[in-house]
Amino acid sequence: MSDTVQTPTAEPGGSGIKTLEVQIWRGGAEGAFETFSVPRRDNQTVLDVVTEVQRHHVPDLAYRFACRVGVCGSCAMTVNGTPRWTCRTHVGKVAGDGKLSIAPLRNLPVIRDLVTDMGEFFDKWTKAGGKFTGTRSRAEPMAEVDPTSRARRNADAGIECINCAVCYSACDVVSWDKDYLGPAALNRAWTLLNDSRHAAQNETLAAATAHGGCGSCHTQGSCMRACPVGISPTRSIAGIKRMSLLDFLGMRRS
């Protein structure tokens, strides 16, 4: 059992493998894998492999990407069974044996081939209370916030989420319970609960603890291990749980 998925491999292509055997999902929810042979290169990400297949094998292969550097969260797919961002997953890290299987993300409806419909993921983001409400206007100066305060550090820890839905795809509760808001949405709620400028604290806490909220998370911990940018939704959700307990006991600081 390995808890680490993030250690980069220093050697990219030293394995001497010349071609990759690549299985790619074709079709919608009903579909099948198709196998392709793709040249192995030193500098090659999983997204490059998919691109190669589109350019040289199946021109109408559907996949999604935008930034190609790990900031837009558009390119996530299931790679050899694990959800990952593909633009920053070096082939050497996942296909030591020269075999790759690439499928769409789990837990989201498949549009076609490698593309999923992320609509529900963002609906849940909103549903979890993930929207800032301020008290000041654009005519006023900005709030002073102590950068070393515990709340600010909590918010910082979760804020750089790229909404790639890798965690959403890694979590079994999401597959078991369609109402579960999922790790990313709750992580965002947690950053707001730690944002001293956010006025709708009670609303966000209520949304994040309601049906499908933090109580549905069973601390499976797959999300925090899969998150490509090193965010720990598990920790954030635990934070909401703790806050809901304090709130229940009338001990929450506001």
Partner 1 sequence: MHVEHHQTDILILGTGGAGLFAALHAKQANPDLNVTLAVKGLLGKCGCTRMVQGGYNVALAAGDSIERHFMDSIEGGKWLPRQDLAWRLVTGAVERIRELENEVGCFFDRNPDGTLHQKAFAGQTFDRTVHKGDLTGIEIINRLMEQVLALDVDKLEEHRAIELVPAADGSGLAGVLLIDMRTGVYRFVQARAVLLATGGGPTMYRYHTPSGDKSCDGLAMALRLGLALRDMEMVQFHPTGLLGGPDTRMTGTVLEEGLRGAGGYLLNGAQERFMANYDPKGERATRDIVSRAIYAEMRAGRTTPMGGIYISMGHLGRDKVAKSFPGMVKRCADCGFDLAGGLVEVVPTAHYLMGGVEFEVDCSTAIPGLFAAGEDCGGVHGANRLGGNGVANSTVFGGIAGDSMAAFIAAGAPLRDPDKSVIDAGIARAERPFALKPGDLHGLRDRLSDTMWDDVGILRDATGLARGTEKLADHRAELAETGLSGSSRAFNLTWHDWLNLDSLLTASEVITASAQAREDSRGAHFREDFPETGNLDSTRYTRVRGDGAGRLTIDTVPVDFSIVRPGETILKDAATAAQ
Partner 2 sequence: MSARRHRSYAAHLGHRLSGLALAVFLPLHFLALGLALEGADTFDRFLSFAELPLVKAAEWGLVVFLGLHLFFGLRLLVVEFLPWSSDADDRAGLIGWGTAGALVLGGIFLWGVI
Partner 3 sequence: MTETRLFLLQRISALVLAPMVILHLVVILYATRAGLSAEAILARTGSTPLWPVFYALFVVAAAVHAPIGLRNILREWTPLSRGVTDWLSLGFGVVLLVLGLRAVWAVSGWAA
Q: Which of residues 109-168 bind partner 2 (CB under 8 A)?
A: 157
| Residue 144, SS3 per DSSP | coil
Compute the least distance from the CB of residue 234 to ligand HEM, in Å. Answer: 12
How many residues make contact with ligand F3S (CB under 6 A)? 14
Give the nearer residue to ligand F3S in terms of CB position, either 77 or 170.
170
Helical residues (DSSP H) of 113-171, grouped into ranges: 119-127, 150-159, 166-170
Binding mask 74-93 for ligand F3S (x = CB under 6 A): --------------------
Compute the least distance from the CB of residue 198 to ligand FES, in Å. Answer: 27
Q: Which of residues 16-35 bind partner 2 (CB under 8 A)?
A: none
Q: What H or E segment, with its residue span, contains residue 31?
A: strand 31-39
| Residue 186, SS3 per DSSP | helix
The reply to whether 218 sits near ligand HEM by the rule CB under 6 A is yes
Q: How far apart are CA 15 and CA 31, in angstroms?
A: 32
Give the nearer residue to ligand HEM in terms of CB position, either 135 or 219.
219
Q: Which of residues 153-182 bind ligand F3S (CB under 6 A)?
A: 170-171, 173
Which residues, 6 or more positions from 248, have their beta carbon under 8 angstroms from its beta carbon?
none
- In whole angstroms, how far apart are CA 34 and each of 39, 165, 182? 16, 25, 31
Q: How far apart are CA 101 and CA 24, in angstroms?
A: 6
Q: How far apart are CA 237 and CA 195, in angstroms?
A: 15
Compute the least distance from the CB of residue 167 to partner 3, in Å. Answer: 18
Binding mask 195-214 for partner 3 (x = CB under 8 A): -----------x--xxxxxx
Q: How far apart are CA 168 and CA 81, in angstroms?
A: 14
With CB under 5 to 8 Å by kind, the binding choice for 233 among ligand HEM, ligand F3S, partner 1, none is: ligand F3S
| Near partner 3 by CB under 8 A: residue from 44, 74, 89, 244 | 244
The reply to whether 55 sits near ligand HEM by the rule CB under 6 A is no
How would you list the strands of the sheet with 31-39, edge to edge? Answer: 31-39, 19-27, 99-103, 76-79, 82-85
| Near partner 2 by CB under 8 A: residue from 26, 41, 57, 225 | 225
Compute the least distance from the CB of residue 95 to ligand FES, in Å. Answer: 18
With CB under 5 to 8 Å by kind, the binding choice for 229 among partner 2, ligand SF4, ligand F3S, none is: ligand SF4
Angle between helix 150-159 and 233-248 (nearest 10): 140
Give the nearer residue to partner 2 in terms of CB position, either 129 or 233.
233
Spatial contact of 185 and 191, defined as CB atoms under 8 Å apart:
no
Report the interface residues with partner 3, using CB under 8 A: 173, 176-177, 206, 209-216, 218, 241, 244-245, 248
